[in-house]
């Protein structure tokens, strides 16, 4: 199997035309083979291409430990290539087939490899797939085959050409950006060595650095920054603090763990002055702690309770609803050891026993232990929660309006092809917003819904409770059309919590249904 170590080269190194792309990549130690065998006449699988794409983007480490699974039906999560394919799909570097498959063990075709390569070069969405080979050629990257077969040697030739070309929006060859070979750019600002104006550069998150100045900067708009990882320039946005003593450089994505440098240029004078470089090292992002909003598991019935939680990394950032947070494994000390975990809302729902049991149920327990582990890093934590003696309930109900499946407020127009939902806010007696369907279901009493949603136009529309189509575990109240309206008509929706004694336990909403 070929292992791609790094892919970076500069056009000026294409001096020996007798050497093949594989020779050049091997010569500069960008690839290695089994016992020196590059297996040039063998095909390249689509799984191996996923690794190459991560290398081309400089994100192999991030892709290797990518926690979220892909949606491809034939990519098993326990396969070595699964995280690479999942990362490639998430960041639109690769694609599958109409039936939802990826075919990881299949040989990549000339056309597929050209498309993958163009995606890695930043041209996703800029080419027509039917003509991607000619599009690639227009970018000085030829993708060809040998006697109709696309082999490793063909891939190496194309890769060699690719690393000698700039990615979209850059004037620097990809290989130079990755910093493997020595090649420099002439700066518009002559380096100088005045007394430093900054005290330090510090990594403050997985995607941000702070440059801390010795005194307030008088003209922050005149200060420019160049952030680099080796020779690879990093795009970012700047945010100054109120005193103009600290500027934060924020990347749009998590940065690969490595050493970074920043050059500061003061352009407030006739002659710009360059300071630096200043250095900082980023660590691989990891889960470092879990916090819970309570020492008590709040019961919503005799069987079900919940607690809110947050996941933090080493920079004390909330990463609950990120790939790291979603990749955690949860277990509880009940007879249903797998809780329902919703990273979007930060709610863990626990169950012990089921109706109509009268004993061996949650209300009989004094404590419940929740254990959280990260299978990739080895992180582990546990929390013992006291089970509440009394049950929580609904204290407030508000109907906000009619939305589509994306949660956007829309006009209510009769249609058999559109889906409409009631946007309902439900608040418990502790002031927490209830979004989890399991919690609302647990609040039912004697088979009666804890929140009853209805309409005063039952011949025209109905409302059904279910799971949200795009947000796992969240409740959704779907509006169903039962008949065609004769014209525009007022529709009234109502929601009431019959077991709540609060004065805000009912809500109504009027809207015009347009034909």
Phi, psi (5° rounding) for residue 302? -70, -10
Q: What is the 3-state secondary structure (H, E, C) of 332-397?
A: ECCCCCCCEEECCCCEEEEECCCCCCCCCCHHHCCEEEEEEECCCCCCEEEEEEEEEEEECCEEEE
Asked if 83 contacts 66 with a C-beta cutoff of 8 angstroms, the reply is yes
- Report the pLDDT value the prediction gives residue 7, as an integer from 0 to 100: 36
Distances in Å between the alpha carbon of 200 and those of 235, 242, 249, 315, 408? 20, 18, 13, 17, 44
Q: Alpha-carbon torsion 154, 158, 163, 167, what sign?
A: negative
Residue 157 CA to residue 182 CA, distance in Å, equals 22
- Report the pLDDT value the prediction gives residue 311, as an integer from 0 to 100: 95
Distances in Å between the alpha carbon of 224 and those of 111, 227, 272, 449? 42, 10, 10, 60
Buried b (16+ CB within 10 A) or exposed e, 346-380: bbbbbbbbeeeeeeebbbebeebebebbbebeebe
Distance of CA 141 to the CA centre of its chain: 31
If DSSP codes are grouped into helix, strand and coil, which group holds residue 229? strand
Whether the bond into 417 is cis, omega within 30 of 0: no
Q: List domains and CATH numbers for the chain.
A: 3-178 (no CATH), 198-281 (2.60.40.1220), 287-391 (2.60.40.1220), 394-513 (2.60.40)
- Report the pLDDT value the prediction gives residue 25, as an integer from 0 to 100: 67
The residues pairing with 43 across neighbouring beta strands, listed in sequence order, are 151
Torsion, Cα 170 176 177 181, to 10 degrees, reads 180
- Report the pLDDT value the prediction gives residue 28, as an integer from 0 to 100: 63
Residue 423 CA to residue 158 CA, distance in Å, equals 52
Q: How far apart are the first and last CA of the chain?
A: 62
Could you report the average pLDDT of every consecutive run of 10 residues in the chain (515 residues)?
A: 36 53 70 66 92 78 87 92 92 88 94 92 86 90 89 88 80 70 40 61 90 91 88 88 94 85 86 84 88 90 90 91 92 94 88 88 94 89 91 85 87 90 86 79 72 91 86 83 92 88 85 91
- Report the pLDDT value the prediction gives residue 3, as an integer from 0 to 100: 38
Q: How many CB atoms lie within 10 A of CB 14?
A: 14
Residue 80 CA to residue 51 CA, distance in Å, equals 10
Residue by residue, DSSP assigns 244-262 as: SSEEEEE-SSPPPSSEEEE
- Report the pLDDT value the prediction gives residue 259, as an integer from 0 to 100: 86
- Report the pLDDT value the prediction gives residue 167, as an integer from 0 to 100: 81
Residue 68 CA to residue 324 CA, distance in Å, equals 8
Residue 287 CA to residue 273 CA, distance in Å, equals 41
Asked if 45 contacts 107 with a C-beta cutoff of 8 angstroms, the reply is yes
Q: Which residues contact 17 (CB under 8 A, 6 or more apart)?
A: none
């Amino acid at each position: 199997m070929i292992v791609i170590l790094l892919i970076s080269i500069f056009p000026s190194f294409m001096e020996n035309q007798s050497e093949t792309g594989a020779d050049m990549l091997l010569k500069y130690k960008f690839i290695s083979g089994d016992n020196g065998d590059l297996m040039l006449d063998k095909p390249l699988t689509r799984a191996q291409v996923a690794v190459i794409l991560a290398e081309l983007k400089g994100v192999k480490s991030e892709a290797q430990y990518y926690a979220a699974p892909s949606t491809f039906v034939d990519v098993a999560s326990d396969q070595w290539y699964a995280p690479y394919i999942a990362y490639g799909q998430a960041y639109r570097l690769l694609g599958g087939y109409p039936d939802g498959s990826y075919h990881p063990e299949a040989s990549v075709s000339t056309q597929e490899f050209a498309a993958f390569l163009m995606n890695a070069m930043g041209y996703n969405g800029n080419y027509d797939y039917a003509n991607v080979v000619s599009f690639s050629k227009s970018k000085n990257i030829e993708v060809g085959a040998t006697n109709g077969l696309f082999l490793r040697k063909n891939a190496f030739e194309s890769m060699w050409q690719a690393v000698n070309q700039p990615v979209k929006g850059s004037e620097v060859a990809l290989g130079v950006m990755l910093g493997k070979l020595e090649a420099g750019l002439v700066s518009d600002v002559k380096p100088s060595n005045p007394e430093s104006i900054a005290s330090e550069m510090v990594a403050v998150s997985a995607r941000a650095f702070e440059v801390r100045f010795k005194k307030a900067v008088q003209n922050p708009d005149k200060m420019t920054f160049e952030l680099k990882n080796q020779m690879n320039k990093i795009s970012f946005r700047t945010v100054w603090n109120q005193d103009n003593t600290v500027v934060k450089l924020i990347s749009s994505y998590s940065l690969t763990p490595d050493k970074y440098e920043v050059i500061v240029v003061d352009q407030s004078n006739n002659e710009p002055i360059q300071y630096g470089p200043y250095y900082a090292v980023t660590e691989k992002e990891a889960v470092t702690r879990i916090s819970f909003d309570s020492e008590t598991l709040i019961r919503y019935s005799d069987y079900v309770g919940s607690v809110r939680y947050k996941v933090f990394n080493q920079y004390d950032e909330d990463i609950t609803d990120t790939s790291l947070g979603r990749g955690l494994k949860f277990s509880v000390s009940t007879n249903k050891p797998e809780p329902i975990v919703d990273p979007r809302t930060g709610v863990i729902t626990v169950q012990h026993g089921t109706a109509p049991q009268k004993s061996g149920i949650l209300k009989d327990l004094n404590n419940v232990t929740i254990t959280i582990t990260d299978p990739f890093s080895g992180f582990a934590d546990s929390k013992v929660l006291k089970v509440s003696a009394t049950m929580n309930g609904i204290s407030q109900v508000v109907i906000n309006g009619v939305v589509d499946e994306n949660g956007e407020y829309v006009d209510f127009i009769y249609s058999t092809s559109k889906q409409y939902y009631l946007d309902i806010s439900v608040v418990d007696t502790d002031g927490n917003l209830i979004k989890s369907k399991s919690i609302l279901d647990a609040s039912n009493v004697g088979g009666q819904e804890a929140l009853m949603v209805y309409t005063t136009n039952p011949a025209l529309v109905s409302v059904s409770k279910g799971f949200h189509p795009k947000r796992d575990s969240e409740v959704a109240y779907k509006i169903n059309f039962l008949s065609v309206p004769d014209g525009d008509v007022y529709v009234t929706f109502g929601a009431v919590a019959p077991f709540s004694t609060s004065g805000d336990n009912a809500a109504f909403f009027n809207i015009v249904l347009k034909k």
